[in-house]
Every structure is written in C-alpha cells, then in structure tokens.
C-alpha cells in the first residue's frame, strides 16, 4: 500500500503500519537500531557539503540518526505535523522548544498547572536568562488574552494537565496567541495523539514526555516535539545541536516499538481509568475525584469536544487530607508507589510532596491542587484487581 493510500486508514492502523516508509536500505519491517555515533563520508568534499547543509545525510548522532529519524517521521505522521525532533527527555523537549521560540527580553504566557519540572524551569532557569514567564489560570482562555504582552512569543499549555486534569481550550488559546503573533505549544503527554491532536485544533507545537504513553513500558526517558519544518529545523540546528540533549538510537527504537501498541494500550488505560474514577467517585471515604471523562468534571463539555477519549490518569482526595492520603498510599498492595505515568503498571503518588514539590503551598492552592491530592496512573492490569486493591487500602484509612 502506498503512503498516500495509508493516510485514509484509521489511527490504530497507522500506528502499526507507520507512514509506509519502512527501512529503504534493507526492507526491514522494523527499523534497525543504528547504534553508531558517526557516519563515514565518501570524500572531504562530501563532508564539507554535509556541514554546509548543501547535502542531506547523516553526520553525527547528536544531530541526527536513522533510527531516530524513523521515530521522528512516525511521530510527525501521527500528530499531523510537518516534522518532529526526538530528544533525551520531556524536559529536554520543553527547554529546546522554549529556547527555539523565545529569546532574552521576551515573554511566555503559561498555564499555572504544569508538570512540576516544567514549572521549575519556568520559575528558576528562564528568569535567569531574562525570559519572563507569566503563569495564568489557562482553564479560561480570557486569562491568557489578558496576560499577553507585545513581547510574548509563546503560549505554553498542558491539557489535560498534570496532576489536576484541568483542560485548556486549545483552539481558543491558539487563536489568541496568533492574534499577538505568538506560537502555541501543547504538552500532549496525557492524551497522546490517539485521543487528541493539538495541531489540528490550531496549535503550533506539540510536546510529549515520550517517557510515558509513547514508550508505555516504563523503560525509557525521552521527549518529542512536533511542529512545522521551519520550527523543527531551528530547534535541531540552533538549540539541540548546541545544548546536546539528543536521544540514543536504542531509546528511539524502544519508542518505535511502543507506537505499534499505542492504540490498544490507550484503550485499556482509558477503560480502566474510567472504572477507577467511577469507583472512587461513589466511595464514602473520597472527597473529590478529578477525571475528564466524568460529567462532574468542570470542563467535561470541552473534554468531549477536543478529545476522543479520557485516558488513564485519575486524581482524587481522601477525606482527611494529606495524612489520610498517605495512609492510603502506604496500604496499596498491587499498585506501585512511584512517580512517572503511562506505564502498563499502575503507579500511585502524591503530587504535593513528589512530582509537584516544586510548587509552593500558595502556588498549589492557587491552582486548586489540595495537599492531599493523590494521582493514580492506571495501568493495564484487570480493573477488578485494581478496584480490589483500592477497596482494601481504603479500608485501612
């Protein structure tokens, strides 16, 4: 089947068959791991042309590698972008995207609910580089508009957000950014392209911590950016090449393998996520549940509009706050107490003291994240076993 014919197929088929551009050298169905740091040139002249950008080809794995190029091609294909850039981690992707879009003396308008590491980058390192970050409650696009300045070059969103599962109206925020001549970035880690494609909604850049659902097995740290050819060329040539946050060919290969099972994994995570969210929402010891697939989620209508499913992350608060929450976490037997998310294993953690310990108490309160909030990354085990574990753990609270 030609690449053109493949485009009309369903997303699940695209994940398995890819863009139809299998390894051209050998016909290998799965792209081999090109575990080589450097690539032989045929002449001094060819080397000069490669470095001058007058000729396409591989030079050195920090700048590009065939296994990584295959991953980038497939991620661009699935997110409907022109090009992609794979990096060593989600944070390498975030810092590379920001430094590509924004320079000293310019500003970013960002959601105030972000992964704790991104928040730390925005609060500490970027101000040192004279990049201002204005964090706003981006669940209401009007707050984004109010914060925009003439020097704002980037609107930075995370939807659904870690850990509150709040949403940003991607189409509305992107339209505002464009009015001001700025780009919009959406961290699409939680939804994955299976449930949400921000570029189709008007965003300019998509970011993934590929450590999570793209890998799916908890065995890789990686990040990916998808955007226009111009943005990705600049991110690669002007920032990643200099800061050096490249991905290893082996990790690119693991992610290519992860992509093939993304649809079945996400369906199962989401099926289980809904069951866990519903179970908790009816439990007498639970105060609150945050899950975009529940009609009680304040942005349920937006979730239905911009996502085709709700995913495997559930946040909740036990009556009795942090102490009671810690008792619950200590009582689980099947689930693993661990940060990260998107793994086949179910992981449980407390953001205020772990992933979001970079937020002050005041910042957590402003975002509406209670100190005792618990986040579960629901895995692909049988959901009855997960509910049984929660039931026995809640019995000890």
| Active site residue ranges | 62, 115, 187, 212
Instruction: Characterize the bridge pairing of strands 205-209 and 107-111.
Output: unpaired
Instruction: Spell out the residues 6+ positions from residue 130 whose beta carbon is closer than 8 angstroms to its own.
Output: 104, 105
Report, in Å, the least distance between residue 50 CB and ligand LCS.
Answer: 30
Q: Are the C-beta atoms of 185 and 159 separated by less than 8 Å?
A: no
Task: Give the distance, in angstroms, between the CA of residue 206 and the centroid of all CA atoms in the same chain.
Answer: 8
Least distance from ligand LCS to the Cβ atom of residue 313, Å: 9
According to DSSP H, which parts of 186-299 are helical? 192-195, 229-234, 241-243, 249-282
The number of beta carbons lying within 10 Å of the beta carbon of residue 4 is 8
What the block records as the tokens of 112 is 């105030």
Task: Print burial letters for 253-278: b (CB count within 10 Å at least 16), e (below 16).
Answer: bbbbbbbebbbebbbbbbebbbbbbb
Which chain residues interact with ligand LCS by CB under 6 A? Answer: 89-91, 115, 117-118, 158, 162, 187, 189, 209, 211, 221, 223, 339-341, 355
Q: How far is the CB of 224 from ligand LCS (least distance, A)?
A: 10
Least distance to ligand LCS, CB of residue 189, Å:
4
Q: Cβ of residue 350: shortest distance to ligand LCS, in angstroms?
A: 11
Residue closest to ligand LCS, measured at CB: 90
């970027």: which residue's tokens?
126
CA distance 216 to 222: 11
User: Which residue's CB is nearer to ligand LCS, number 293 or number 342?
Assistant: 342
Spatial CA neighbour of 369 closest among 111, 93, 192: 111
Nearer to ligand LCS, 341 or 390 (CB): 341
Report in angstroms how near the CB of residue 140 gets to ligand LCS at its nearest: 20
Q: d(Cα 2, Cα 314) in Å, to the nearest integer?
A: 40
Closest distance of CB 123 from ligand LCS, Å? 15
172's CB contacts (< 8 A; 6+ apart) are 141
Name which of 158 and 389 has its Cβ closer to ligand LCS. 158
The residue among 145 and 370 lying less far from ligand LCS, judged by its C-beta, is 370
**What one-character-per-residue DSSP string does 306-359 give?**
H-S---SEEEEEETTHHHHHHHHHHH-SSSEE-S---SSS-EEE-GGGTTTTTS
Question: For residues 4 and 25, what is the distance between their CA atoms, to the nearest angstrom?
Answer: 21
Cβ atoms of 235 and 97 within 8 Å: the answer is yes
């Amino acid at each position: 089947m030609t690449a053109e014919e493949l485009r009309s197929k369903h997303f699940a088929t695209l994940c398995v068959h890819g863009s139809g551009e299998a390894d051209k050298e050998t016909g290998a169905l799965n792209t081999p791991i090109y575990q080589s740091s450097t690539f032989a040139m045929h002449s001094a002249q060819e080397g000069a042309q490669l470095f001058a950008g007058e000729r396409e080809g591989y030079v050195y794995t920090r700048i590009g590698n065939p296994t990584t190029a295959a991953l980038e091609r497939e991620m661009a294909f699935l997110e409907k972008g022109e090009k992609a850039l794979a990096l060593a981690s989600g944070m390498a992707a975030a810092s590379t995207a920001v430094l590509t879009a924004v320079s000293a003396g310019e500003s970013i308008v960002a959601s105030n609910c972000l992964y704790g590491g991104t928040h730390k980058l925005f609060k500490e390192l970027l101000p040192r580089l004279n990049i201002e970050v204005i964090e706003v409650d981006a669940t209401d696009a009007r707050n984004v508009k109010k914060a925009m300045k003439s020097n704002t070059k980037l609107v930075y969103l995370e939807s659904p957000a870690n850990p509150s599962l709040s949403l940003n109206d991607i189409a509305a925020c992107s339209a505002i950014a464009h009015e001001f001549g700025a780009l919009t970035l959406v961290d699409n880690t939680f939804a994955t392209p299976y449930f949400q494609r921000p570029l189709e909604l008007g965003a300019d850049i998509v970011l993934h911590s590929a450590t999570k659902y793209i890998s799916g097995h908890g065995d890789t740290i990686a990040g990916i950016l998808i955007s226009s050819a111009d943005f990705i060329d600049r991110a690669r040539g002007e920032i990643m090449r200099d800061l050096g946050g490249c991905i290893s060919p082996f990790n690119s290969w693991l992610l290519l393998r992860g992509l093939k099972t993304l649809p079945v994994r996400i369906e199962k995570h989401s099926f289980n996520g809904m069951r866990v969210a519903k179970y908790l929402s009816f439990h007498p010891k639970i105060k609150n549940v945050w899950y975009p697939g529940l009609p009680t989620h304040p942005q349920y209508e937006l979730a239905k509009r911009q996502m085709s499913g709700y995913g495997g992350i559930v946040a909740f608060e036990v009556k009795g706050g942090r102490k009671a929450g810690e008792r619950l976490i200590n009582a689980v037997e099947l689930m693993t107490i661990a940060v990260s998310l998107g793994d086949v294993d179910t992981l449980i953690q407390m953001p205020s003291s772990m992933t979001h310990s970079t937020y002050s108490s005041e910042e957590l309160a402003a975002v509406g994240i209670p100190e005792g909030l618990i986040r579960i990354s629901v895995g692909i085990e049988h959901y009855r076993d997960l509910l049984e574990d929660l039931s026995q753990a809640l019995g000890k609270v």
